[in-house]
Amino acid sequence: MASKPSATTKKAATRKKRNPPPSNKPTRHPWTRKDGEIHRAGYRIGYARVSTLDQNLALQQDALKEAGCEKIFIEQMSGAVADRPALRDALEYARSGDTIIVWKLDRLARSMKQLIETIEGLRVRGIGFRSLTEALDTTTPQGVLVFHLFSALAEFERALIRERTRAGLRAAKRMGRTGGRPAKLLEDDLDVARTLLANPDITVAEVADRLGVSPATLYRYLPAARTANNLSK
């Protein structure tokens, strides 16, 4: 015969679940930007850059505004600098569905590798990219195709460089040469150094000066020279 539930069990069953207290923290809108602004999806963000103060940003800014950019980040810095604050802010400001727009590809990056890595990072985040001069637009199927061609050409170029390097090393090895910097001290130099170091009146510094190298280099070739130098003191 089944036992009847106890009073404690009935009380626990009828006890109402307590809701957590309401939070005073305001709910963050999914489209909230870094500066607290809220914009719709599909925002067009421009990035303009010049290398020197003598160059004028007006041409780039006018083209970006005509392309519908609602916010433009500007910068005066060489493209060879990897960490550019305004570009970093523009990339952080963008949200999924937005599009980063530049006047020319070299405004964004100075190498194919840097360009592909930046655009690929945007693609992963769901952000499009447009270059006005080259008419590259990754939000269209044609633009995606062109970008993939860029990636394939860059990989092809890297493969050619690797193959040329290997071929050069193989040819040098057949000729008896090895890679790396040439030795500063030849075996004849080391024989002279050993002979001079056998004389306790001649210091390691004097031997190194005669051979045209530093004492540290001589110690690297002849570790025993350090012991000889200590014994002569």
Map residue 88 onto helix, strand or coil: helix
Contacts of 74 (CB under 8 A, 6+ apart): 47, 48, 49, 57, 61, 86
- List the catalytic residue out of 3, 51, 78, 111: 51
- Is 23 known to be catalytic? no
For residue 168, how many other CB atoms are within 10 A of its CB? Answer: 11
CA distance 130 to 104: 9
Map residue 179 onto helix, strand or coil: coil
For residue 48, give the H/E element and its range.
Answer: strand 44-50
Amino acid at 68: G
Helices (H), the chain: 7-14, 58-66, 85-93, 105-108, 112-124, 141-174, 187-197, 204-211, 215-221, 224-231
**Whether 44 contacts 73, CB under 8 Å:** no
Residues marked as catalytic: 51
